[in-house]
Amino acid sequence: QGCAQKYVVKNYFYYYLFKFSAALGEEIFYITFLPFTYWNIDHSVSRRMIIIWSIVMYIGQVSKDILKWPRPLSPPVVKLEMRTDAEYGMPSTHAMAATAISFSFLIATMNQYKYPFELGLTAAFVFSTLVCLSRLYTGMHTVLDVIGGALISAVLLVLLYPAWDSIDHLLLTSPFCPLLSIAVPLVLCYNYPKLDYYSPTRGDTTTILGAGAGATVGFWLNNQYAAPAYASENLGFPLITGMMVVLMLARFFTGLFVILLTRQLMKSMVLSVLCYCYKFPIGDLEARRRLEVEVPYKFVTYSSVGFSATVIVPLLHELLGLI
């Protein structure tokens, strides 16, 4: 483990296609697409996607460490990634995330915007399929891992859909929402299944739940003190103009700069405080993997990112005249 195998790329089209597709199930995609949807498309769509994504990913991550099914053996499989190799394989959380995000986007928009349903269904299917196939190509999962992940995500979507609007309304209007949005994910993170060796699954789960918690608090705050969320629903899809594209790109890059800056600043600040409290050098990787350090470090950092994306960035957009 930890040593990348040498390999020869014989088909660069497949290589770059599936390397790119694999990135669609990682943080770089979550931190760009989900905020982009919130800033430029529809708040209600973004809220539902983030809620589904958080639930699906938590269940997927916990399932890995409960089932403890190993990843494909290498050799004979050549693994093109090393970071997640320490994790267990079943189910594929890339497959779960891709299925949840693509089909929740379809479900949330099909009754709100006018576009051919077949086109949306095809796009969702192609997106999720590319991510699933990328996990096979990169050698990180078996076919069963990928099918299992996609099926679990599909079942969760079916089960959650009837309560989708009720959950959304509750999170926007309940006075207990901010407290529960922080307390419940923290309890889940601190009570994450224990393993005999370190795996990045707990840290990744904390990152996801932290981002979801911060965003949910932001949703609630915006609904309480800004325009109510339901006041702007179902307005129809606007005509895309050149100026609108410029504004969308301006909102996106401005927001992306803010959340990346927030992430970097909070990482440095929170880690410095934890180093002082627990008396370990900032470069001590083993200390940073301890439960009492890893959970607050990642949770505070990424809840700040989620809050910044839903509250600070829209305020900045308004200040700059980008809305």
The pLDDT assigned to 233 comes to 46
Average pLDDT over residues 302-319: 91
The pLDDT assigned to 188 comes to 92
With a pLDDT cut of 70, the percent of the chain lying above it is 92
The pLDDT assigned to 232 comes to 44
Is the pLDDT higher at 184 or at 139? 184
Residue 6 per-residue DSSP state: P
CA 153, CA 130: separation in Å to the nearest integer? 16
Average pLDDT over residues 188-214: 87
Average pLDDT over residues 290-295: 87
Average pLDDT over residues 255-261: 92
The pLDDT assigned to 4 comes to 56
pLDDT band of residue 216 (cuts 50, 70, 90) is very high
In 10 A of CB 182, how many CB atoms?
18
Taking each helix axis as running N to C, give the angle between helix 43-67 and helix 27-40, from 0 to 180 degrees, rounded to the nearest 10. Answer: 160
175 preceded by a cis bond (ω within 30 of 0)? no
The pLDDT assigned to 230 comes to 45
Verify whether residue 43 is a known catalytic residue.
Answer: no
CA 206, CA 64: separation in Å to the nearest integer? 15
178 preceded by a cis bond (ω within 30 of 0)? no
Average pLDDT, the chain: 84
pLDDT digits (tens, 9 = 90+) for 81-127: 776 666 777 898 888 988 998 899 888 888 777 778 888 889 899 98
With a pLDDT cut of 90, the percent of the chain lying above it is 24
The pLDDT assigned to 187 comes to 93
Average pLDDT over residues 140-166: 89
Verify whether residue 94 is a known catalytic residue.
Answer: yes
Residue 234 has pLDDT above 60, yes or no: no
pLDDT digits (tens, 9 = 90+) for 167-195: 888 888 889 989 999 999 999 999 988 87
Average pLDDT over residues 188-207: 86
Catalytic one among 43, 94, 169, 317?
A: 94
* Tokens, residue 210: 């932290």
Is the pLDDT higher at 323 or at 246? 246
Q: Which long-range contacts (CB under 8 A, 24 or more apart) does 295-300 make?
A: 295/186, 295/189, 295/190, 295/202, 295/206, 296/270, 297/267, 297/270, 297/271, 298/203, 298/206, 298/207, 298/210, 299/185, 299/186, 299/189, 299/206, 299/209, 299/210, 299/213, 300/210, 300/266, 300/270
